[in-house]
Structure 1
């Protein structure tokens, strides 16, 4: 039932806005409900679906559920302290939108870890409550069935939206792609002149992984990592991804796409979810159910017939030390 839940945390999200018109709460909390819909307010134990944009005081985006292409879901916990994020969320109803400003120093004094790299006074959330399933202690089975039905309906919507997302990405980026029977599409940016890898060869590739919204979730390029708030000095030096290709060390679409290339070439792989993370996506990651992926690949080298000495994980939203969002 809980598969696909994105549990929000102070360490992962944040946001900044003007002071005017805010109501004051405990521990330095400021909140402004922009639209207040009729209905029961959110309570502890309810299941909620939220769209969230998160920024720092310096207007640096830390999280944007719209870029993810899906809302975030969680069960409403008991507030960790009087004046935390959920203290404010529990004043909202389905359809409400609000900006919530959390005082970083006050949160730290209450035992909450200070988000790394965040400067300024506030961690600030702008959010909209898309849906609420009210906790029903008298009918736990019915409560769970409603949540299961919610995820089924959300999955159906995401599945129907997948191909239009792919088509829009290809069209808006003016890509000329080769379509393969599996559903993979490959746009060649630079034709390689070297050897073409075969299953079992070790390939050395530079890559950048994106969603169709353009949101980068992983890269072997340190400059791209810095630009997209993915950089982690612990990963230095940023090197190629080295792996035995065609042996299931990466998602199927990555394997298939690299096998179409030649050494020295650059290609863009448009990978449907059935060749990626499928109907479930990645638990706790940026890649949701039925999410198509874009990989920009440079095939740097091919070592025939010699598997990589140390198998490396597939490039994913959670791969590598660079993924501290």
Structure 2
């Protein structure tokens, strides 16, 4: 296989420009190709590589896009047309190629069945973009991370729904993306932009696990507008309170620690957060 590819590579490198299509080289009489962009020559395709390709097939004059797909396969075992496989074998990650040929020569019906791509002698244009070239060990690690991420996301959704149900929140409690319920209305001032407030709070994961409690120490000193001091959802909730007030609120993961979780690892990815907060003093 490697010998055959080497022979084909030599043939391509010596191939002359196509008189039929400007900027293209001839593979043989009915197949022509052009490299649109060059890729990373440290990420070469070989038989053991897993290759991710975006493949688009269109009419010869680009007037009609027939189909676009993404494929990820082990290159050595891929049952692709020999002309296409030989071209990819000389390519790197990040490269883009355009190939012109007949439906029959490019075996487009095998690639894009059941899409109607015309008669066997119809000329088509294939655009190939090599998204990624990865070794098997790297790909296995990526897939494991994707599965773990999916598990975290599913668990986060279940925990969030359970928290909504157990805390009896409903749509009437939803304010700008967070679920907020006042437990005791304050009589003092609301906190203003640039102001400071002293706040006591308890923080829970959506499963009820306590992860922070300021009542064991001094109140938290919150400076409105100070970057990265509090979660976005926390700032929104405190803005709805007045001095002396108490509230409970549930913050979805997008307004909490997002899809990565906390840097400490205490809060997993996709985790909603529950707060019980008391606005002790406003210092505007």
Give the structure-2-normalised TM-score. Answer: 0.49
- Greater strand proportion: 2
- Greater helix proportion: 2
Structure showing greater radius of gyration is: 2
Give the structure-1-normalised TM-score. Answer: 0.43
